[in-house]
Structure 1
């Protein structure tokens, strides 16, 4: 397994930094990196159940980057450690001819206790089932954030917080049947929705739904009891 990967230039490094920084504000934990066939897929967890009794949906963010075709690995690493390495890589000066060169980043030490990383979204087999707009996701995020804030007391315990978040983010969006509001929260939190009229395509395979935007993807694993499951 490769212990490092390369990104095309400092712009790609900056894009990955911004993505991971946004994800870290929601879940300051780990990122799953899967490299192969010249693509680096970076998965981050926005929402996921912490126990068998937790009904919060599994919602992941995904950004992809071009990397060396010979690089192959599947690793879960601490987000902060990777951000530190990206910051150092961004300071590397360009080549002698002034042209941008691929930037190598060494993987931090892996972690093995991340529960959501054991859930692997499929790479293929997706079929388009509909579309919506970024405005729908933005509205779901704004309404859900306000509802969560109003329902959780200042000194609330973790169990209550998780229950409220599960109830709010597990509700379907009225305009987008079978897609939970947590998908809108993820798209908003990761900076994937900026222009309200942007078209967002909806894809499905098995128990997974994918929302695809120009800036990235949101993946939702439907609960086992779902009518679409």
Structure 2
């Protein structure tokens, strides 16, 4: 099965998302859901260990409509990028080639370690609950990353690391809030928060994320992507 992407820029977007997902879990998976002209890419930032399930979501536009739902290993996607690079080797990019649609082959291999992919968050029915300043999210992400690194040195068992991550990222993002801190981690590591801050005296401006809820799910959104979280584990 192939998905037709609009241009090289979109391919780069997919590659970046996969690369960031591999930084979180090199042996992880990505779920590709194509519905008409829209491609939704899901990857897990936190799952297992008895903690929350936190997913990163990036939505792109396809060059032609498609219907697909595949959960494949991240490593298999990286192999597809390598093949594309070999096919394009020696070709000098031009404005015409950069804007030309190209096929992305979806690996036929199904990931067997992605229990989080068994439940899809709702596509509609979301209500706006408020906004969270991105500096608050960045601070929470850094603190949690440091705590996990200190508590899980090199050589720690996978089960122990999973339990520690579940503990750290399952804590409330804000005091008295049911939203898990894992949303900050996912937003940071997948690049949804950006790196900047508003000018002094300008207020938060665009440096905020919106927080939404639907049933048991939470969604944190920025112009760069979305984070979906459910506090009780799915797998």
TM-score range, shorter chain: 0.7 to 0.9
8 Å Cα contact 1:36-1:69 kept in structure 2: no
Give matches, 1:130-169, under 5 Å.
130-169=130-169
Return the match for 2:219 from 210, 213, 219: 210
Do the aligned residues in 2 keep the contact of 1:212 with 1:218 (CA within 8 Å)?
Answer: yes
Structure 1: distance between partners of 2:158 and 2:18: 24
- Judging changes above 3 Å, is the alpha-carbon distance between structure 1 residues 68 and 176 closer, same or farther for their aligned structure 2 residues? farther
Aligned 8 A contact 1:132 1:176 in 2: no
Unaligned runs of 5+ in 2: 198-203
TM-score normalised by length of structure 2:
0.84
Give a deviation string over 1:82-112, Cα, whole Å, max 9, x none: 1232344466456996572211111111315
In structure 2, the CA distance between the partners of 1:153 and 1:106, relative to structure 1 (3 Å rule), is closer
Among 23, 26, 29, which residue is 2:24 paired with? Answer: 26
For residues 65 and 176 of structure 1, what CA distance do their matches in structure 2 show?
Answer: 35
Query: In the alignment, which residue of structure 2 is the partner of 1:104?
Result: 103
Equivalent position of 1:14 in the other structure:
12
8 Å CA contact 2:6, 2:61 repeated in 1: yes
C-alpha distance after superposition, 1:141-166 (max 9, x if no partner): 11111112222354432332222211
2:209 corresponds to 1:200: yes
Q: Secondary structure at the match of 2:65?
A: coil
Q: CA deviation at 1:127?
A: 1.3
What stretches of structure 1 of length at least 5 have no aligned partner? Answer: 225-229
Question: Which stretch of structure 1 is more off in the superposition, 36-45 or 189-198?
Answer: 189-198
User: Number of residue pairs matched?
Assistant: 218
TM-score (norm 1): 0.86
Give yes or no for contact 1:42–1:62 (8 Å, CA) kept in 2. yes
Supply the distance in 2 between the matched residues of 1:132 and 1:55 (Cα, whole angstroms). Answer: 26
Cα distance in 2 for partners of 1:143, 1:22 equals 19
CA contact (8 A) 1:89 1:103 kept: no
Provide the alpha-carbon RMSD of the alignment. Answer: 2.2
Query: Highest relative contact order (Cα 8 Å, sep 6+), 1 or 2?
Result: 2
Change (3 A) 1:223 1:65: same
